[in-house]
Amino acid sequence: MTKVKVWDPVVRAFHWTVAVGFAANALLTDAEGKLHEWIGYAIFFLVCLRILWGLTGTRHARFADFPPSVEAAVAQLSDMAAGRNHPHVGHSPLGAWMIYNLLLSLIAICVTGYMMTTDTFFGIGWVEEAHEILVTWAEVSVLAHIAGAVYESRRLGINLPKSMVTGYKEMP
Amino acid sequence: MPSFTAKTSTISAALVVLIVLQGFCAVFFLIDIAHDFMEYRQPDFSLLHSSLELTANLALLAGAAVEGIFLAGLLRRQAHAERALSAASGALHDLMEQYFEDWGLTVSEADVAAFTIKGYSIAEVAQMRGSAEATVKAHLNAIYRKAGVTGRSQLASLLIEDLMNGALSAKVGPREDAARHPVQKSGTDG
């Protein structure tokens, strides 16, 4: 068992603030209220910050550390299918795809949400519909993300949710 | 890390995209249908129409699940085959997978068995599977028990025996077989 420092404070703070913000806006806040808008702006700001951090941040926070790769993702799927347990220190290839998916979905949700507040697009059907479909997509993605984290924690014997709190992975 | 043929990678990626799209659309429409059912008192609610929609989307979801199972099988077979490159490997491989299935090996046991039959040591198998040697030993014991053999050499000889008995020639297509061995009768009933 070796303890490896993987997630810096920026990555962890981003993860949990966005998680809380998204949950609040998807489930709790009044979609027509000011609070919903402000949380939306905050999430957009955080995502922009995370993208900058992905270019300049610490080793495992950088996009270069988890490039979107079909081959690596298939290799990880095949590890799962064959019951093999090769752990990844930073983001796993499938995890990387999920991150890009969530970042892009959040941006699209923020953009369509903002459009609904402008005079040009206020009350236009397809904008609202797009916003709602994107939110459903993101909700399903979040559920898949949680299921994936739990499944991978069990498969690899590493508590991944805990590592997103403490910043350390306990590699077997 | 295993290296995959470009073809397997493409098929797998395409399947994943299909599963994700079908899965999401099914979930999306199921939520929609749930809303419809909650408004069953409305005049424009049609039970027949909504039931048909429900069935179609459940079938879509089931289709995605079947694709997932198919993908897992494809990847598993590919993972077992990745280092077997001899000419007989295709048919030998089919035979091997058939045995694993008959013995009721788990996914991990089948993987360990495939490596073992190819002659890898316990330490090598552990390294390639990213697990502890003790785990591999436990898998091996289960494999030997399920296969009813006493050890590695008996496990391999089960396959060799079948090879000798002509199980392999049964799997080779008749035309190819006849072309290569015009006078020899293939022992298809072995």
pLDDT tens sequence across B83-121: 554 545 667 778 888 889 999 999 999 999 988 988 889
pLDDT tens sequence across A60-118: 999 999 999 999 999 999 999 998 988 899 999 999 999 999 999 999 999 999 998 88
For the question of an ipTM over 0.90, the answer is no
* Predicted confidence band of residue B166 (pLDDT cuts 50, 70, 90): low
Dist CA A158 CA B110 (whole Å): 24
| Pair B104, B113: CB distance under 8 Å | no
Average pLDDT estimate for B57-72: 95
* Predicted confidence band of residue B7 (pLDDT cuts 50, 70, 90): confident
Dist CA A67 CA B64 (whole Å): 27
In this prediction, residue A108 carries a pLDDT of: 97
B114 CB-near residues (< 8 Å, 6+ apart)? B80, B96, B100
> Percent of chain A beyond pLDDT 70?
100
Contacts of B136 in chain A (CB under 8 A): none
For residue B73, what is the nearest residue in chain A, using CA coordinates? A81
Phi, psi of A75 (to 5 degrees): -60, -40
Residue contact A86–B79, C-beta within 8 A: no
> Percent of chain B beyond pLDDT 90?
38
Domain A2-171 annotated CATH 1.20.950.20: yes
For residue B75, what is the nearest residue in chain A, using CA coordinates? A78
Residue closest to A19 by CA, chosen among A150, A145, A151: A145
In this prediction, residue B169 carries a pLDDT of: 53
**Residue in this structure with the two tokens 């049609």, named with its chain if needed:** B46
For residue B131, what is the nearest residue in chain A, using CA coordinates? A85
Amino acid identity at B39:
E
Alpha carbon distance, N-terminus to C-terminus of chain B: 38
In this prediction, residue B81 carries a pLDDT of: 76
On average, the pLDDT of chain A sits at: 93
In this prediction, residue B83 carries a pLDDT of: 54
Query: Using CB atoms, which residue from B16, B28, B129 is nearest to A84?
Result: B129
Which one has a higher pLDDT value, A105 or B164?
A: A105
Of B47-56, B80-89, B138-147, which gets the smallest average pLDDT?
A: B80-89
Dist CA B40 CA A34 (whole Å): 34
Is residue A4 within a helix (H) or strand (E), and if so which, with residue range? strand A2-5
* Predicted confidence band of residue B177 (pLDDT cuts 50, 70, 90): very low
On average, the pLDDT of chain B sits at: 80
Which one has a higher pLDDT value, B179 or A95?
A: A95
In this prediction, residue B180 carries a pLDDT of: 41
Residue contact A84–B79, C-beta within 8 A: yes
In this prediction, residue B5 carries a pLDDT of: 66
Q: Is the pLDDT of residue B189 over 60?
A: no
Q: Is the pLDDT of residue B3 over 60?
A: no
Chosen CATH of B89-180 out of 3.40.50.2300, 3.40.50.11540, 3.40.190.10, 1.20.1560.10? 3.40.50.2300
Residue contact B13–A82, C-beta within 8 A: no
